[in-house]
Amino acid sequence: MLDTITGHLTEFDLKQVNRFELQPARVNCFGEEISATKKFYNAPHFNINIKPDQSLYYKTSLPHLIHKTSLYEITENHYEDCVNLIKKELDRSGLIYNSEEITKVPLARIDFSRNIIVENPVSEYIFYLSQFRMPRRDRLNWKTETVSFRNSLRELCIYNKVLEINTVKSCIPERRFTIGMPENVLRLESRFRKGSAIKSRFGVLNLEDAFHSDLTRSILQADLNSLTRANSIQLELNLEDSHNLMEQIKRDYSSNRLKTFLSTMGVPIFLQKFNYDFDLIKEFLEEHFKRAAVYKALREIQEIQNLIMPVKQKDLLQEIRTKLAA
């Protein structure tokens, strides 16, 4: 339902200042102050930032507060528990504050989320969705099987949740939850990254009003409904991991580098990463091989592609919409 939120307190005082760290003011080469001193408090999945103008913001992941992992969703039944756990963390920081502000003051960020248990490999859904676009919010990241449509204010992020936990370093403590779990959890997150995005969409939205599953469903449905076929429009691809892998293979192997690369990554994943665009594949190869080797490599990749069974066409987006509505 909800994941990360950023709350705001207007009435507070520091009971125990020593629990906060200070970020000293920064000065330039002329000794002029370019940023003022800040106070901050960091706990696992709970951060407090007191800015120079004495405005206070706290950021937390509600599923982490409840479940110790973001793998599992929270529900409307967790409302009181979430509020009490936020209070507990604020108390632990040494703050004196008005507890009513936790539920009543407008939020500065909110992420609506939902887990969808899918019937096919998550990579198929990610590749399928990469063929869509969202106005002014286009970016594709294949590093953790993620497709993300975003700008500075809003983001629709769809990704392989189990794979994220199993591969991202910061998620190591959560891997006990994914032992033996198949990678069939497609995570949808609609992120309102700034207060201005929330204000534009809702006017005022506080934690109490946001804590409704129907609201999460409607937000995610609206985002999915705004996706349109990309046609000839190419999403921005993050291919950094492909380049890094190739550079590693070039350092470690003196021959058969392309075959080693393809066998390590897998041809279907390689082709999906490059959106089956052989012009883009050619540009990639030209960065790592001489001209003659590039054309030989392209022929080999095309021959391998012909051996791959075509994926059966499925209306994967409709499956997501149906399960989201349930």
Classified as helix, coil or strand, 252 is helix
CB atoms within 10 A of CB 221: 17
**Angle 318-322-324 from CA coordinates, rounded to 5°:** 115
Does 265 share its domain with 192?
no
**Could you read off the pLDDT of 109-166 as tens digits, one per residue?**
999 999 999 998 888 888 788 777 787 776 666 566 888 888 889 999 999 999 999 9
- In this prediction, residue 234 carries a pLDDT of 46
Residue 321 is assigned to a structural domain of this protein: no
Does 271 share its domain with 122?
no
Residue 32 is assigned to a structural domain of this protein: yes
Cβ(182)–Cβ(165) under 8 Å? no
Does 285 share its domain with 186?
no
Domain boundary among 229, 256, 284: 229
The rounded radius of gyration (Å) of the Cα atoms in the chain is 23
Residue 314 is assigned to a structural domain of this protein: no
Domain boundary among 208, 229, 250: 229
Does 277 share its domain with 132?
no
Q: How far apart are CA 185 and CA 153, in angstroms?
A: 26
Does 25 share its domain with 128?
yes
Residue 313 is assigned to a structural domain of this protein: no
Structural domain tally of the chain?
A: 2
Residue 317 is assigned to a structural domain of this protein: no
**Could you read off the pLDDT of 195-204 as tens digits, one per residue?**
999 999 999 9
Does 204 share its domain with 75?
yes
Domain boundary among 202, 229, 256: 229
- Lowest pLDDT segment from 46-50, 205-209, 260-264: 260-264
Share the mean pLDDT of the chain.
Answer: 86
Q: What is the DSSP letter of 47?
A: E
**Could you read off the pLDDT of 273-320 as tens digits, one per residue?**
776 677 788 888 888 888 888 888 887 887 776 665 444 455 788 899
Q: Which residue has the tokens 């189990």?
A: 162
Nearest CA among 2, 18, 141, 20 for reference residue 67: 2
**Could you read off the pLDDT of 59-99 as tens digits, one per residue?**
999 999 999 999 999 999 999 999 999 999 999 999 999 99
Extract the tokens encoding 105.
């003051």
Specify which residues 46 forms β-bridges with. Answer: 43, 60
Count Cβ neighbours within 10 Å for each residue of 31-61 and write b for 16 or more, e otherwise: eeeeeeeebebeeebbbbbbeeeeebbbebb
Q: How far apart are CA 286 and CA 321, in angstroms?
A: 41
- In this prediction, residue 96 carries a pLDDT of 93
pTM attached to this predicted model: 0.75
Extract the tokens encoding 60.
């937390």
Q: Which residue has the tokens 């779990």?
A: 181
Does 263 share its domain with 161?
no
Determine the structural domain holding residue 303 and report its residue range. Answer: 239-307
Does 75 share its domain with 152?
yes
Q: Which residue has the tokens 């041809």?
A: 267
Does 205 share its domain with 243?
no
- Where helices occur in the chain by DSSP H, the ranges are 62-67, 79-92, 101-104, 122-129, 161-167, 195-202, 207-210, 213-225, 240-252, 257-265, 267-273, 278-286, 291-307, 316-325
Residue 322 is assigned to a structural domain of this protein: no
Instruction: For residue 6, give the amino acid letter.
Output: T
Residue 323 is assigned to a structural domain of this protein: no
